[in-house]
Each structure stands twice: as structure tokens, then as C-alpha cells.
Amino acid sequence: MTSETLQKADIFSLGVMMYQLCSGRNIRESGENGLYRKLREGTAETILGLKPGLNALIQKCLHADHTRRPSARDILADKLLLQVSPSEKKLRAQL
């Protein structure tokens, strides 16, 4: 595996964690053909009650095509995260 592929796998893992935290669902409990499979295939439903921007960010991280997932830099620069960040200037300075 290349470094880029490993980084994109980390982004997918981040998306899975965000999905679990925001939905309250445990992907392990849904079985082999359950939620995890849907997440891997890019067919999982969006989470009801979330800001559309947060759902969009989660879906980007979970994209089935790893080349279309955002980089860590892209995620940190996402307007949604900057809106909820306690220190937007600090985040921007780190980019």
C-alpha cells in the first residue's frame, strides 16, 4: 500500500467514527451484511437531524472510491469545522 492509500484509509476510519458518534449506532452490532457493509459501499443513509454540512463531510470521508476522499488538510479547512472551532485563527494558522 502507498502512503496516500493509507492516509485515505485513515480518513475512512475517521468517517466511520463520526458516523457512529453522530448516529449513535454501533457498526459492529449490525452484522456482516449490515451498516459496515453499507458504509464501505457508500450506500449508508444520511443521519437524520444533523446539519447538512456535517452529513456531507461524513459522506465525503466514507466515499467508496478512496481517491475521492478528502485529505486531512481538506477536513481541517472545511467551513463547518471552522464554524464550530473555538479558535478559527489558530486552525487557519496551522494550515
Amino acid of residue 70:
P
pLDDT of residue 13: 92
For 68-89, b/e burial (b = at least 16 CB within 10 A) is ebbeeeebeeeeeeeeeeeeee
- Centre a 10 Å sphere on the Cβ of residue 67 and count the other Cβ atoms it contains: 8
Specify the pTM. Answer: 0.75
Per-residue pLDDT of the chain (95 residues; tens, 9 = 90+): 677 666 778 999 999 999 999 998 888 776 666 888 888 888 888 899 988 889 999 999 999 898 999 998 899 888 776 665 455 556 556 65
Q: What are phi and psi of 43, to 5 degrees?
A: -115, 10
